[in-house]
Structure 1
Amino acid sequence: MLLVVDKQITQRHISRDNFIFAAKGLAAGKKSNLTTTHRTASAELTGLCIALHTLAQKYVPNTPQSFSDFDALLQVTHALRQLGLTPDIAPKIKAAAVSTDNAAVLSSQDYRNLRNKAIAALATIADFTGKNTPPGNVDYQNGVREGYRRASDVAILFLEDIQNGVL
């Protein structure tokens, strides 16, 4: 399952990079001395990009189940705007598309609650080394202690990342 998700993420990044490369080529084509045939093709591709963007706005919902698709739509909108194209942006995504930074998300109450819960959970796991081991033979208790220690080490690493702003 994780391999499939990694593969999908990799394909999405490759597709996004290819799209941005092609779109930058279109923008560069506007500035350079292209032949009439190439300018016509550039104009056609620009029209296609705008039409596909309009369709995507219409059919990509902003729901938790399609979060990654909606985020990709926002990134495409931002990329088109960076290239100087002016796609019509639907009112439901206008604010999110204009501000593609994560400041709105990081300052939301939901994010802060989720972040605090994650910190509390990781802090609990980090304190496992002080927890008593369940009854059993010596090898079992040593294994449980080792598991507690490893879980604690991983939780501490995540807590440090959160504190440093990486996560």
Structure 2
Amino acid sequence: MSRKITIGKIARAHGMKGEVKVLPYPLLNAEILPQIPRFYLKTSHNEYKPLEPESVRQAPGEGFLFKFKEIKDRDAAEALHDKVLYVEVEDLPPREEDEYYVFELVGLKALLPDGKELGTVKGLMPVGPYELLEIKTPERKTIYIPMIHEIIKEINLEKGILYLDPPEDLLEIQGYEVKSNAN
């Protein structure tokens, strides 16, 4: 059985011909939604109903407007209000080298150069030219680290580890006490 992940939610019906507005979850790279060939609705504990996109376009504001082949009219579209959409990981577009899906990063342990665990990756925030990793420390503080090659040294999905080397002042200005191993 292939692995399915949640990708977004059907917010509401749109128009009279069965279109629905889909809001992607922030844990997925939203721009890939139009490239996905098949979505799924969970019908029971471990059963899913496939939905094949007939058309997709950017929605006014946020999200996308999808017309699924299986949804013929507004009534059928309204019945999907607030339903979660799933996708098979295998149906996601291939990544470029050194590219990652956000859901792959969430949960990774972030390690500093001395081997100390900074915390666990909780998400990614776009902030202009780059993204910020949101890392929750064991003390339950949130630290934001720029997702740039100068700081992110290695991402090892198999080991579940993200190796980083941030400047000490970046951590200190966010209230994280940098302790040396000499203490």
Determine which structure has the larger helix proportion and give its number: 1
Determine which structure has the larger strand proportion and give its number: 2
Q: TM-score, normalised by structure 2?
A: 0.23
Q: TM-score, normalised by structure 1?
A: 0.25
Structure with higher Rg: it is 1
Higher relative contact order (CA 8 A, sep 6+): 2
